[in-house]
Each structure stands twice: as C-alpha cells, then as structure tokens.
Amino acid sequence: MTHEFDGSDSVIDEGGLSLRQKLNLAVTAVLGIALALTFPNVPKALGMWFNSEEFGLANGAVQAGYGVGGALSAVLTPLVLEPVGGWRNLTSLLGFATIAIGVLWFLTVRDRTPEPVKSADEQSTKGQAERLGALTAIRQVLQIRDIWILSLCHLLFVGGYIGIIGYAPTYFADVQGMTQTEAGFILSLILWAFVVGALVIPSLSDRVGLRKTFYFPGMFIAGACMLVAAFVLGTPLWITALLWGFAAGAAPLAFVMPLEMDGIGPRLAGSAVGIAITAGYLGGVLAPIIGMWLVDITPAAGFFFWGGCYMLSAVLFLFLKETGPRVRQA
C-alpha cells in the first residue's frame, strides 16, 4: 500500500503513523544521539583547557549559558514567532544557527593536553585511558563507588529541575491566581538568578578549593525554596525565587567532581559524565511522571516532591569524597 505525501498530517500508513510523524520521530532520535555525543564531552573539554583551580568557574559559565538561553527564549520566542512566520521557520533558523556555530567551533577550537598528572595513581590512569576502548572505559568508571553516588545525585536534581520548571508556571497561574505573564516573570527570576549563582558559587568553590562545602547548602536551600514557593505570593515569592535560582547555581559542581575523582581525571571524564548525565536523563523522565501523579492528589505536592529531590541530592553529595584543589594539594 503506497501513499503520496501531500504535506499534511492526515496521510496514515498501516502502522497508524503519517509520513511526517515518522520523519519527526527519526529527526528527534538523531537529535537525541547528537546531544548524547555533545553534553558528556563538554566537561571533558573543560578539563583539558582549564586548570583544576578553574574547573568550577568554567563549568559554571557553561551552565549559566543554559540559563541565559532558557530565560531569553521565554521572552523572545513570543516576540519573534509571528515575524519569522511561525514555529517551523523559527526552528529552522535555530537549526541553521547551530550548524554555523558547530562549523565555527570545528575551525577554531583546538584540543589541549590536560595539565600534567601528579600522582602515581593518576599517571597509571592516564596510561590506561590512552589504551582503553569505550566499553572498557565505561566498565572501569563503573567500578568507582563515587560515580554511582554522583549519578544518583544527577538523577535527583535533573529530575527535580525538569519537573518543577515545567509545572511551576501552571501552578502559579491555576492555583495561585497569577496571570501567565506574572507566572512567566517568576520563572524568569529563577533562571536569571541561576545565571548569577552559576558564576558566583563555582568561582568561590575554586577559590576555597572545596566542592561539597558549596554544593550541599546550595542545593538544599534551592530545594527548601521550592517548598516555600508553593505557599507565598508577592514580594516574599520574588525573594524566594531569587534565592532559589541563586542557590541552585551550585549544581555545576556536580559536573566538576568527575574531573577530580581518583581514577578518572580529564581523560575518562567523558565516560564518567556520560554515565551521570544518563542517570540525569532517566530522572528527567521518571521524576515528572511521579510528581504529576502526586499533583493529582494535591497541587502543592509537586513542589514538595521535586524540592525533596534537590534536598536529597544535596544530602547524598555529602557521601562523596571531597575532590577540590585544596584536597589535591594536601
């Protein structure tokens, strides 16, 4: 049975999907593969370009960029959607811009040799990493206890983030009685405060030379602010949103830890971060489902669940071995 594609979504084959729907699924799959190749290698590249005393700020700057993109898209998308001719044209423009950035990156960015390894353990890891295949590297990384704990931290805070960011504007509008504009403003406060926090907190971590000392209070406070945000309005909510976003700026430190863990370092950081990010994506699927099930029971339950994810992530982080520059120099 054959069909002619007429550009509509009504052409259905025996499987029940139109040709356009199949193409959308294929493109989405390719996008997912591309992102899977990109995100884990960002911390690895930073580990090659920066010294350990700069890991925090470097990763914080990357995460701040995500925050800026999210905040700007929330403001600019409604403004440019009509002038560019709809969401399809806007998506295409963003795609071409991404390709241009990728080409510029390929032509201008060069790898650097990681900073010299200092301990015998690190020297051994360096030699092994140069000979390891991808699967062997993953198996070696999975033998490290702290990677499992760190991956669980990623599962919790990424799941909490995706759940709360998607639900908070709806809650503010439907339960707290805000307009969509007011709800969007609160969300933008959180994102812009995160941009500042993602630059300040990791930078302070670099200067002090410790990671857990900053991650734990930051993520715990951010989670507590989610609980408070469900019940306050006006100026108290603005203050809570600013503190929430700023404190969550400690999150980039979770991407720094693999670069500094014993037995990993910059050369195995791609595998280590890839495992942690995979756990984060799993949390991004599961936590919103569980949270929305709780929301059906009572609307504020989502804030408690996703805030609890942040707070539990902070507590688990305490069980990791400290890796900051101060520890390495001791």
| pLDDT (tens digit per residue) in 5-19 | 444 444 445 556 777
pLDDT score for 327: 74
Nearest-10 crossing angle of helices 41-49, 55-80: 130
Instruction: With beta carbons less than 8 A apart as the criterion, state whether 241 and 196 touch.
Output: no
C-alpha closest to that of 251 among 283, 221, 271, 229: 221
Average pLDDT of span 206-235: 91
Structure tokens at 195: 């941009």
Instruction: Read off the pLDDT band of 76 (50, 70, 90).
Output: confident
Over residues 185-210, the pLDDT tens digits come to: 888 889 899 999 999 999 999 888 88
Would you say residue 43 has pLDDT above 90?
no
Question: Which amino acid is residue 269, in one-letter code?
Answer: A
Query: Domains of the chain by range and CATH?
Result: 56-65+136-330 (1.20.1250.20)
Which residues 6+ apart lie within 8 Å of 319 measured at CB? Answer: 149
Report the share of the chain in percent with pLDDT over 70: 78
Would you say residue 225 has pLDDT above 50?
yes
Instruction: Read off the pLDDT band of 132 (50, 70, 90).
Output: low
Would you say residue 319 has pLDDT above 90?
yes
φ/ψ bin of 272: left (φ > 0), alpha (ψ from -120 to 50), beta (otherwise) = alpha
Would you say residue 125 has pLDDT above 80?
no
pLDDT score for 47: 63
Question: Which amino acid is residue 208, in one-letter code?
Answer: V
Would you say residue 316 has pLDDT above 90?
yes
**pTM of the predicted structure, to 2 decimals:** 0.76
pLDDT score for 48: 66
Q: Distance from CA of residue 272 to its chain's centroid?
A: 15
Instruction: Read off the pLDDT band of 329 (50, 70, 90).
Output: low
Lowest mean pLDDT among 63-72, 86-95, 308-317: 63-72
Which residues 6+ apart lie within 8 Å of 269 measured at CB? Answer: 43, 44, 47, 258, 259
pLDDT score for 265: 64
Instruction: With beta carbons less than 8 A apart as the criterion, state whether 152 and 279 touch.
Output: yes
C-alpha closest to that of 44 among 59, 57, 54, 32: 59
Instruction: With beta carbons less than 8 A apart as the criterion, state whether 195 and 63 touch.
Output: no
Over residues 21-41, the pLDDT tens digits come to: 778 778 777 776 676 666 656
